[in-house]
C-alpha cells in the first residue's frame, strides 16, 4: 500500500512551504490496530505498539537526503525497531508531529499483520517520499 498523507499534513506542508509556520520534527511510530489509512485520519485512529523494547523514533531532519527533479524525492535512512519479547501484531507505521501530535502520514504494511513474537524480532522501515508534478 502507498503512504497516505492526511489532510492535516497537506495544510501543514503549505504553511511550512510559505514560511507561515515553523516546521516541527516528526516521530515514526508503529501501530497495532487493524486499520487502513485514509487522508481523513487523525493520530487517535492508531494504537501505538507498546512494551518489550519498542520505542518510537524521532526523525532527525538532517538525516533526510533530497533529490531534485520530477519527481522530487526525500529519503531517510533505514529505521530498525528491535523487540525484546512478544508485542503482538503490527499492521504498519504512522508519523506524527513531535510537538503538535498531528498525524502527518501512515502506511499499512503490504504483508500486514507482522506478528512480533520473540526476543530479537525486528521491523525495518525505509522512508522515501516522492512528489510528482503531473
Domain with 45, as residue range(s), is 4-131
pLDDT for 13: 81
DSSP string, 53-115: T---EEEPGGG-EEE-SSSEEEE---EEEE-SS--EEE-EEEEEETTT--EEEEEE-TTPPEE
pTM of the predicted model, to two decimals? 0.90
Average pLDDT, the chain: 91
The string of pLDDT tens digits covering residues 41-93 is 999 999 999 999 999 999 999 999 999 887 888 999 999 999 999 999 999 99
Beta-bridge partner residues of 130: 73
**Position 29 pLDDT exceeds 80:** yes
| Count of domains forming the chain | 1
pLDDT for 133: 63
pLDDT for 37: 96
Amino acid at each position: 500500500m502507498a503512504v497516505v498523507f492526511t489532510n492535516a499534513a497537506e495544510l501543514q506542508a503549505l504553511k511550512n512551504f510559505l514560511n507561515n509556520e515553523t516546521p516541527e520534527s516528526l516521530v515514526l511510530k508503529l501501530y497495532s490496530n487493524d486499520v487502513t489509512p485514509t487522508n481523513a485520519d487523525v493520530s487517535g485512529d492508531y494504537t501505538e505498539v507498546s512494551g518489550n523494547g519498542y520505542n518510537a523514533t524521532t526523525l532527525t531532519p538532517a538525516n533526510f537526503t533530497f533529490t531534485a527533479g520530477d519527481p522530487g524525492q526525500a529519503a531517510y535512512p533505514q529505521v530498525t525497531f528491535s523487540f525484546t519479547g512478544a508485542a503482538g501484531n503490527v499492521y504498519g507505521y504512522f508519523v506524527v508531529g513531535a510537538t503538535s501530535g498531528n498525524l502527518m502520514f501512515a502506511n499499512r504494511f503490504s504483508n500486514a499483520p507482522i506478528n512480533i513474537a520473540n526476543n530479537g524480532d525486528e521491523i525495518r522501515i525505509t522512508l522515501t517520499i516522492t512528489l510528482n508534478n503531473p
